[in-house]
A and B are shown apart, each in its own frame.
Chain A
Amino acid sequence: MTTVEKRLGAAANFVDERLGAAGWMKKSLNKVFPDHWTFMFGEICMYSFVILLLSGTFLTLWFDPSQREVVYEGVYEPLKGITMSAAYASTLDISFEIRGGLLMRQIHHWSANIFMAAIVAHLLRVFFTGAFRKPREFNWILGIILLTLGLVEGLLGYSLPDDLLSGTGLRITSAIIQAVPLVGTYITFFLFGGAFPGVGFLPRIFTIHILLLPGIFLAVITVHVMLVWYQKHTQFPGPGRTEKNVVGHPILPVYMAKAGGFFFIVFGVTAFLSAVASINPIWLYGPYTPGQISAGSQPDWYMGWLDGLVRMAPPWETHAFGHTVSWNILIPALIVPGIIFTGMAFYPFIESWITGDKREHHLLDRPRNVPNRTALGVMSITFVLISLINGGNDIFATQFDLSINQIMWFSRISIFILPPIAFVVTKRLCLSLQRADRDLVLHGMETGQLVRMPSGEFAEIHKPISAQKRWILTSHEQAPALELPATDARGVRRPGALKNKLRIRLSKAHAVAVPKVSAQDLKEIEHH
């Protein structure tokens, strides 16, 4: 035994005699993680979160979250002598007088964007592959919570510098809260410490942004990852992969090296972006004052779709009994997002109600094999994209020389028309892809080699696909639609007939598929 081994052994012995960790560690280090490039989205989320913690901690060392008014005396000439909040002044100091400060600010802002983008990509991957199905519904809901927290945390973060753009964002936020019937005005006054902009808001959101929400994030992310660990990762279907096993690389050493290396790559790419691409140059916006605004005021993209919904809302307000209800704010900013997020959280249960499937699923779906779900996903993406485009309607109008009114009317109409079209088109595309899979299994791959038959006819040689490939294309299950007779065995009408009818219709729509090839089909075709 070498000295190093002896020392490590002594240390391990010390720990194990007190914690009994060897048994658990032995199992954990052999834990297997399946590989697929789409599994890295979730990793990017986690690494970006760590980058946010590191860069954010750096920023707090100099940031002063105070609304106290100061006269700027720093090195940035254009703003010298101007009265501004201490928050804005200290952000300027971080940008211009702390070495590496601007880099850290940009890393923080870039990684926030990457964090949100990776959350969205991760969410879409989990949705389209059906990874949210039993037993992973809890983790799906935790994911939705993390997405929601991310939106709030991002908004609070870019509100802190107290520049003209961020102040405008807060003005809008306060108007949304103020629009809540009954309690809105009171909540705004309590949050802001009076009428907007109030006296206490920045220090309050600072504490929420750097302590409260990161703490909640940390807790939820920990549970999220522990559940992945405990329930084991899902895997794509393939030869040798079943619902009862998990195939991949063990955590030690390969997965650990790859995951650890990937953290540094994500950090490196974020640092590169921050070095070469300016983001949120607050010194160009000037300090916040409610009487001014700059044209083209845009929130960050992950809030942009909500802003787009607000922009396209019709001018509806109800005045009755001495009270005002602003539907033009409530519907786009609270009700519609509320329905979307609640719907997302409940989707795993809705789908299992439709299909009647209560089994565990560890093999992922290929999106084409579940046309209804895939179409629903693309429909939702279309909805959000139209909202996002409308959120930038002023930018589109100036960049492409269009009329804002025309873009707005386009969005107002297409938000109702395009998503259903996207649904139908996606569903048909999925079925076409299923048909293509079927052809591939039955007739093999086109080789591009043409041969002339003795009869003079030309034909292309098709090469049969490998058994592995065939397994990937045919191993999925094609469950038939639910059968719920309106009457039971004794001829008595079941209760909830309407609900059953709806369920049968949804189930039928869900079960639509091009029949997959069976071994028998292939044999028959080979005989011809």
Chain B
Amino acid sequence: MSNEIEAFQDPGEAVHAPRAADIDPRAEKRAEQQVAALFGLSAVGSLLLIYSYIWIPEDVFIFIPVMGDQNAHQLFLGLGMAMSLFFLGMAAILWAKKLMPDTEVVNHRHEFRSSDEDREEFVKTVKDGVAGVQLGRRKLIKGSLAASLGLFALPPVLLLRDLGPLPGKELEKTNWKAGTRLVTDPGNRPILASDLEVGSVVQTLPEVAPDTHRPLSDIAKDPVLLIRLRPEEFNLTPEKLAMTHDGIIAFSKICSHMGCAVALYEQTTKHLLCPCHQSTFDVTQAAKVIFGPAARPLPQLDITVDKEGYLIARAPFNEAVGPSFWERNSQ
């Protein structure tokens, strides 16, 4: 290259300047004392840790400005450990910097590429080895080897089959059936439609026999939000309106985006907001998505009341609740 001729010359490294400890015995002594002091502080930290572990009770709180009330046991245990480690490290580094030799050393690099002879020999070795295997000539062995290796790969995959059940229609199902009562969560109490005031929101689950254990997998798909508005506030298709009862509308609480609980309801705007990704659903328009990444409204549960006036589901959900999946077949 043209500019290489005119380039500057490498001036070489600047002359090495001695450190204070290299020339002044007093500075050397001082450095030694500093290193020893740091090792000493580390030992103090270890003792503090031991003291805190054994003698500071675990229920003592002390007030520290800025930090507020702190558990003394945890705090001093941690500070002791921090001191013991930190000053050990500082001592070693100070020792290296002030007292150990500080002249830089030069090593040489070599190109990584092997020599041509080595490469040729390598290729020859590999070729000889491959020729010794005789795969080209032994067609029968080649074929059976391929078959056996192919089959050999299957068992490890097969052995993982029992990790879980096949999905089947599992994701389409919830425990809501025609006639299932909506009960409060927590509390498991049926809800009288007449008890719900306008503007109220209730989290509900399908009724189970008293003291029945609800598995988490049910709680992951069954929660339903009940919201009561004034009937004239709705802006619904006749079909969706028929699924409400006297201003009470019910949605799956499981977000149609990624399955978080859609837990935030804003009274004034009548919006439901999912705290995970801020998808916003308009209750007055049957939980239509008005903002955020969710692509579908929250599934609406068809509700009515039974003879005693308790809220029940008129039918199961007519679509899968929760996040989308490949097999999902409904708009």
Given A260-B92, A262-B89, A293-B261, A247:B105 Cβ within 8 A: yes
In the complex, what's the smallest C-beta–C-beta distance from A470 to chain B, in angstroms?
6
**Residue A394 at the B interface, CB < 8 A?**
yes
User: Of the 9-residue stretches A5-13, A175-183, A452-460, A495-503, which lies at the interface with chain B?
Assistant: A175-183
Question: Could you say which of A30, A329, A478 has the most chain B C-beta atoms within 10 Å of its C-beta?
Answer: A329
**Residue B242 at the A interface, CB < 8 A?**
no
Chain A residues with Cβ below 8 Å from B258 are 171-172, 175-176, 310, 329
A-B contact pairs, 6 of them (CB 8 A): A99-B53, A265-B89, A274-B78, A294-B275, A311-B292, A324-B324
**Residue B305 at the A interface, CB < 8 A?**
no
Chain A minimum-CB-distance residue to B111: A360
Total chain A interface residues with beta-carbon distance under 8 A: 121
**Residue A408 at the B interface, CB < 8 A?**
yes
Type the 1/0 row for A243-286, where 1 means its CB is closer than 8 Å to any CB of B: 11111111001100110111111111101101110000000000
**Residue A326 at the B interface, CB < 8 A?**
yes
Chain B minimum-CB-distance residue to A192: B164
Given A197-B217, A295-B275, A478-B3, A244:B293 Cβ within 8 A: no
User: Of the 9-residue stretches B79-87, B116-124, B310-318, which lies at the interface with chain A?
Assistant: B79-87
Chain B minimum-CB-distance residue to A135: B112
Type the 1/0 row for B172-205, where 1 means its CB is closer than 8 Å to any CB of A: 0000000000000100000000000000000101
Question: Could you say which of A175, A243, A467 has the most chain B C-beta atoms within 10 Å of its C-beta?
Answer: A175
A190 near B260 with CB under 8 A, answer no
Type the 1/0 row for B62-84, where 1 means its CB is closer than 8 Å to any CB of A: 00000100100111011101111
Type the 1/0 row for A390-422, where 1 means its CB is closer than 8 Å to any CB of B: 000110000000001100100000000000000
**Residue A341 at the B interface, CB < 8 A?**
no
Chain B minimum-CB-distance residue to A299: B276
Chain A residues with Cβ below 8 Å from B275 are 293-297, 394
User: Which of B73, B203, B223, B295 is A315 in contact with, Cβ under 8 Å?
Assistant: B295
User: Of the 9-residue stretches B23-31, B95-103, B130-138, B230-238, which lies at the interface with chain A?
Assistant: B95-103
**Residue B22 at the A interface, CB < 8 A?**
no
Given A271-B81, A315-B289, A196:B220 Cβ within 8 A: yes
User: Which of A231, A249, A267, A272 is B112 in contact with, Cβ under 8 Å?
Assistant: A231
**Residue A189 at the B interface, CB < 8 A?**
yes
* Size band of the interface chain B makes with A: 35 or more
Chain B minimum-CB-distance residue to A272: B82
B10 near A242 with CB under 8 A, answer yes
Chain B residues with Cβ below 8 Å from A126 are none
User: Of the 9-residue stretches B11-19, B145-153, B243-251, which lies at the interface with chain A?
Assistant: B11-19
In the complex, what's the smallest C-beta–C-beta distance from A243 to chain B, in angstroms?
7
User: Which of A261, A290, A297, A475 is B220 in contact with, Cβ under 8 Å?
Assistant: A290
Chain A minimum-CB-distance residue to B101: A254
**Residue A506 at the B interface, CB < 8 A?**
no
A191→B163 CA distance, assembly (Å): 7
In the complex, what's the smallest C-beta–C-beta distance from A527 to chain B, in angstroms?
15
Interface residues of B in 245-295 (CB under 8 A from A): 253-254, 257-261, 263-264, 275-279, 289, 291-295
A171→B84 CA distance, assembly (Å): 41
In the complex, what's the smallest C-beta–C-beta distance from B82 to chain A, in angstroms?
4
Chain A residues with Cβ below 8 Å from B325 are 178-179, 184-185, 188, 324
**Residue A168 at the B interface, CB < 8 A?**
yes
**Residue B160 at the A interface, CB < 8 A?**
yes
In the complex, what's the smallest C-beta–C-beta distance from A420 to chain B, in angstroms?
24
Chain B minimum-CB-distance residue to A179: B324
Chain A residues with Cβ below 8 Å from B53 are 99-100
Type the 1/0 row for B217-230, where 1 means its CB is closer than 8 Å to any CB of A: 10111110000000
**Residue B328 at the A interface, CB < 8 A?**
yes
A317 near B295 with CB under 8 A, answer yes
Chain A residues with Cβ below 8 Å from B70 are 276
A232 near B291 with CB under 8 A, answer no
A258 near B164 with CB under 8 A, answer no
Given A194-B170, A291-B203, A254:B100 Cβ within 8 A: yes
A326→B173 CA distance, assembly (Å): 20
Taking A260-B89, A295-B275, A394-B275 as known contacts, 9 extra A-B pairs with beta carbons closer than 8 A to each other, sorted by chain A number, are: A103-B74, A175-B258, A193-B163, A195-B167, A272-B79, A311-B293, A317-B324, A475-B10, A519-B8
Chain A residues with Cβ below 8 Å from B86 are 264-265, 267-269, 271-272
A295→B260 CA distance, assembly (Å): 11
Chain A minimum-CB-distance residue to B78: A275
In the complex, what's the smallest C-beta–C-beta distance from B188 to chain A, in angstroms?
13
B89 near A189 with CB under 8 A, answer no
**Residue B126 at the A interface, CB < 8 A?**
no
Chain A residues with Cβ below 8 Å from B12 are 239-240
**Residue B104 at the A interface, CB < 8 A?**
yes
**Residue B165 at the A interface, CB < 8 A?**
yes
B109 near A191 with CB under 8 A, answer no
A52→B92 CA distance, assembly (Å): 23
Chain B minimum-CB-distance residue to A333: B258
Given A172-B260, A261-B91, A292-B261, A30:B105 Cβ within 8 A: yes
Chain B residues with Cβ below 8 Å from A180 are 326
In the complex, what's the smallest C-beta–C-beta distance from B39 to chain A, in angstroms?
11
**Residue A319 at the B interface, CB < 8 A?**
yes
User: Which of A182, A266, A293, A322 is B263 in contact with, Cβ under 8 Å?
Assistant: A293
A239 near B10 with CB under 8 A, answer yes
A189 near B6 with CB under 8 A, answer no
**Residue B308 at the A interface, CB < 8 A?**
no
